[in-house]
Structure 1
Amino acid sequence: MTPNMVGFSFLMIGVFLIIGKVVRLHTKWLRNLFLPSSIIAGFIALFLGPDVLGRLTSQFLEQGSIFYNGLIPDFILDVWRPLPGMFINIVFAALFLGKKVPGVRKIWNVAGPQIVMGQAVSWGQYVIGLLLTLLVLTPLFGMNPLAGALIEISFVGGHGTAAGLASTFENLGFAEGADLALGLATVGILVGVVAGIIIINIGYRKGFAKHVGGKEYFTEEEKERLGESHGFEMEPQVKEAKAIEPLAFHLSLIAFAIVIGYVLQQGLILLEASTWGAWTDVVLFPYVPLFPLAMIGGVIVQIFFDKLDIHMYIDQNLISKISGFALDVLLVSALATLSLQVIGENIMPFLLLAIVATVWNVFAFLYLGPRMIPEHWFERGLGDFGQATGMTATGLLLMKIADPEYQTPALMGFGYKQILFEPFVGGGLVTAASLPFIYQFGPVVFLIISTVITVFFLIFGLIKFNPKRKGKVQTAEQSN
């Protein structure tokens, strides 16, 4: 493959992004679903590729023809396939850059209930996924036990995490898992938006949603911005590094964060190989992808800038744009190379995973929300529900619909939650390590661990934050 072919493949991503943008602009129902142009572009490319249009063109063209497998030549797809695993590192390295990390006490005081509930929901997704796999998917459909991690990877992690773990799935002998994860992530987005809006309407009629209304939920400009920015709006900083182009400077910061992550990864691999790996002949870190460690690298870079009091040189808006660009490339390439044949061959396990995940998320919001979030549980819980179904942006838009005037602390709590949530689950260290852990120790061991942790967070949240219990404690203190 020549450099020109690689370059042309990247140019085609830009072409499909423009097509996706135009389609989104002229299709109202896609805007109402808040799907970004990159996801639309990815599905258009998928439709024009070998699994859809290619099945038709292969009937009329001779094998070896450039369009035998559809309108996207094979060499372009060959370039696109490894891109998700590369660009996910940029997304995660940029996650905390430009954000001054507040103290743990402040984070806990504001977002403690949402942190605990988010952890309970995420670990609970492992529990229900592993139970479904052990009891149904493996015995009846012969599914790989690694399928037990698909719900958490797809619904909480989303498209980016699902795509970024493609190489891990392949290395562990479950290559089809990446396609199933991407498909489930798409289902998660649709479930999050549709089910969330239905819940808001029911909550409004029943009096739970007290802040809905007052103005149109979103203007057309807000809809466009939310969909294209994946839900994040950043404020520009005041200073720039003048000795170097701002874009090059911020790219360098992200690159440095990834390098730190790579050094950490190789250090952990060497440490494991010379200690418990050599003693037990069981290794995990060679299968753990780079992106969660790149995220830690980004935190280290940010702390360094904070300590030297030069954090103002990191433009959060520019970091967000670089991250958004990487995420767009990741989504287009991942969805365009998605194997519909794999999903079709595993349609029953796929549907069962989607249904079980949806039921768990709805149950967690409606039952655990009012019992684990003491104040404004509906608005704050909606953010967690949206994030638990595949996209942070889904949580943001649901909170905006339920609280358009920001009369509750939902948005602040949701933002603080990410600092003690994202590093672990939803694409963090636990999500990345879950596949190699199941592979090495078996699904039963990870099920036991996940169950214990889920029960811990449930009990802790129901005791610590239960509104009825807090009310009784306050009454007792007042009487004394």
Structure 2
Amino acid sequence: MSPNQIGFALLILGLFLLLGKVIRVKVGWVQRLFLPSSIIGGFLILLLGPQVLGQLVPALSEAGVFTEEMRTVWVALPGLLISVVFATMFLGQDLPSPKRAANLVGPQLSLGVALGSSQYVVGLLLAALILVPVFSASPMTGALIEIGFEGGHGTAAGMRGVMEELGFTEGADLAVGLATVGIVGGVVIGIALINWGVRTGRTELLKGDVKASVDEQKGLFSKDEYYPAAQMTSRPASVEPLSLHMALVAVAILIGWGILEALRWIEAQTYSSVMLNDSTPLEIFAYVPLFPLALIGGVILQAIAAALKVDHLIDHQMMLRIQGWALDFLIVAAIGTLSLMAIGANIGAFTLLALAGIGVNVALFLWLAPRIIGRYWFERGIGDFGQSMGVTATGLILMRITDPDAKSPAFEAFGYKQLIFEPFFGGGMVTALAVPIIYLTGIWPLFFAMLLVFLVALGAGIFYYAPKAKVEREQARQDASAVTT
């Protein structure tokens, strides 16, 4: 494949991302669903590819209106871009004071870990009792709810190579499909929950009908709005700020790559000689992808910059722009190359996983969040619900709707929780290790490990944070009574 073919494939990907944005601006029902332009563009590619148009027009059965080289580039792209997404997560982030972080992060982390671990508990139990014996599915399907919902399109696509290497060829397509269900369901169900919360008085800040402006529905800023994209931290005559930040992302990924290679070398020199059976050595890090280590690389680079007192040169908003670019192109490519045949062949398992994932997320939000979070439980909990359905961006969208002026500590608490949560769930080490562990040991070891994590998170919330939440709400009521009298 020539460099020109690779470059042209990227240009076409950008064209369809722009077409997705045009549709978002022009089509009312798409606006009301808050569908990201990347998902729309990905579906356009899917419709014009070999799986839809190619089935209707035999002459286009090979690659649709595209070329095979384009599709080859698009299939490989998510596995590369996901490392960029994860490397940028903590670059430019200021660490909070320990006391304030501890007060806010406790119940938030308890809810987040309960949501993440429960997706494994429910998925693995479904796999053991129904999916494997009834649908002859792979035991590794038990990990797909967390990979698709909590991890999202990036994690799902990033795990493709690992799944294919372990013989779970349909796994990535099912995970990307679940990620699409999750992100759409997260916004639709989330907005329905917000309207219900407003009507029943469960929201502290919103007291009227939830309505987004026309510009918000279109995904545009109005002329009188100003939202700085990033801060200039270097003079362009020296180095373009975007180039500087891209270089820092590259260094973070290289640090993660060095860590992963070191872990693989240690594994090769130690326990990999142990055989689980006649043909399967005890190897875990051999199957771990790069992206969770890229996140750790970003944390290490940020810590080094802070120690050297040059962390002011790293702007988190700039990192968010780089992350957003990578995620948009990743989603277009992942959905555009999604295998509908793989989902169709496993439609029973896919439907059960999707319904189970939605059910456990809604149940934990409605039951656990109001018990363990004091004031603003709805505003704070809806962010974790959104993330558990369709990655961090969905959670941020729902929090912005419930708290448009950031009057509650929702955004702050959510950010603190991410510092501890992200290295493990939603594309972290637990997500990366889950599929190889199931492949090596079967369903039950990971099931019982995640059940223990779930029970610890639940117990900490109910027995430690719930009494504090009750006191906090009572104090708020007393303060409100004192003001009115």
TM-score when scaled to structure 2? 0.91
Is 2:69 aligned against 1:80? no
Residue deviations 1:152-206 (CA, integer Å, cap 9, x gap) = 1111111111111111111111011100001111111122112112222222222
Counterpart of 2:260 (choices 238, 262, 265) is 265
Residue deviations 1:391-432 (CA, integer Å, cap 9, x gap) = 222212222222333332112111221111111101111111
The DSSP-based 3-state class of the residue aligned with 1:239 is: coil
C-alpha distance in 2 between matches for 1:417 and 1:384: 10
Aligned to 1:342: 342
The DSSP-based 3-state class of the residue aligned with 2:286 is: helix
Q: What code does the residue aligned with 1:74 have?
A: E
Counterpart of 1:110 (choices 104, 112, 125) is 104
C-alpha distance in 1 between matches for 2:290 and 2:352: 30
Aligned to 2:46: 46
Is 2:317 aligned against 1:309? no
Aligned to 2:418: 418
Aligned to 2:457: 457
Aligned to 2:483: none
Higher alpha-carbon deviation: 45-54 or 376-385: 376-385
Aligned to 1:478: none
Q: Which runs of 5+ in 1 are unaligned?
A: 228-232, 476-480
C-alpha distance in 1 between matches for 2:304 and 2:468: 43
Deviation at 1:224, TM superposition (A): 4.7
Q: What code does the residue aligned with 1:185 have?
A: A
The DSSP-based 3-state class of the residue aligned with 2:141 is: helix
CA RMSD of aligned residues (A): 2.2
Is 2:65 aligned against 1:71? yes
- C-alpha contact 1:55 1:69 (8 A) present in aligned 2: no
Deviation at 1:457, TM superposition (A): 0.9
Q: Relative to structure 1, is the Cα distance of residues 251 and 385 closer, same or farther in structure 2, using a 3 angstrom cutoff?
A: same
Aligned to 1:432: 432
C-alpha distance in 2 between matches for 1:100 and 1:225: 28
Aligned to 1:328: 328
C-alpha distance in 2 between matches for 1:215 and 1:205: 8
Q: What code does the residue aligned with 1:83 have?
A: L
Aligned to 2:136: 142
Deviation at 1:374, TM superposition (A): 2.3
Counterpart of 1:128 (choices 110, 115, 122) is 122
- C-alpha contact 1:158 1:390 (8 A) present in aligned 2: yes
TM-score when scaled to structure 1? 0.92
Aligned to 2:158: 164
Q: Relative to structure 1, is the Cα distance of residues 467 and 397 closer, same or farther in structure 2, using a 3 angstrom cutoff?
A: farther
Q: Which runs of 5+ in 2 are unaligned?
A: 222-226, 276-280, 476-485
C-alpha distance in 2 between matches for 1:158 and 1:374: 29
Counterpart of 1:152 (choices 146, 152, 158) is 146
Deviation at 1:87, TM superposition (A): 0.7
C-alpha distance in 2 between matches for 1:174 and 1:119: 27
- C-alpha contact 2:13 2:332 (8 A) present in aligned 1: yes
C-alpha distance in 1 between matches for 2:292 and 2:254: 12
Deviation at 1:317, TM superposition (A): 2.7
Aligned to 1:186: 180
Aligned to 1:255: 250
Counterparts of 1:24-43 in structure 2, within 5 Å, are 24-43=24-43
Residue deviations 1:119-160 (CA, integer Å, cap 9, x gap) = 011101100000000000000000000000000111111111
C-alpha distance in 1 between matches for 2:15 and 2:229: 29
Residue deviations 1:305-340 (CA, integer Å, cap 9, x gap) = 111111121132322222211112211111111000
C-alpha distance in 2 between matches for 1:210 and 1:8: 51
Aligned to 2:478: none
Deviation at 1:473, TM superposition (A): 13
Q: Relative to structure 1, is the Cα distance of residues 473 and 253 closer, same or farther in structure 2, using a 3 angstrom cutoff?
A: closer
Q: What code does the residue aligned with 1:78 have?
A: T
Higher alpha-carbon deviation: 79-88 or 213-222: 213-222
C-alpha distance in 2 between matches for 1:252 and 1:468: 45
Task: Percent identity, please.
Answer: 47
Counterpart of 1:246 (choices 235, 241, 248) is 241
C-alpha distance in 2 between matches for 1:69 and 1:94: 34
C-alpha distance in 1 between matches for 2:248 and 2:473: 49
Structure 1 stretches (4+) deviating beyond 6 angstroms? Answer: 472-475
The DSSP-based 3-state class of the residue aligned with 1:390 is: helix
Aligned to 2:448: 448
The DSSP-based 3-state class of the residue aligned with 2:368 is: helix
Q: What code does the residue aligned with 1:387 have?
A: Q
Deviation at 1:216, TM superposition (A): 6.7
C-alpha distance in 1 between matches for 2:299 and 2:215: 33
Counterpart of 1:98 (choices 86, 89, 92) is 92
Higher alpha-carbon deviation: 340-349 or 315-324: 315-324
Deviation at 1:255, TM superposition (A): 0.6
The DSSP-based 3-state class of the residue aligned with 1:8 is: helix
Aligned to 1:403: 403
Q: What code does the residue aligned with 1:262 have?
A: W
Deviation at 1:295, TM superposition (A): 0.7
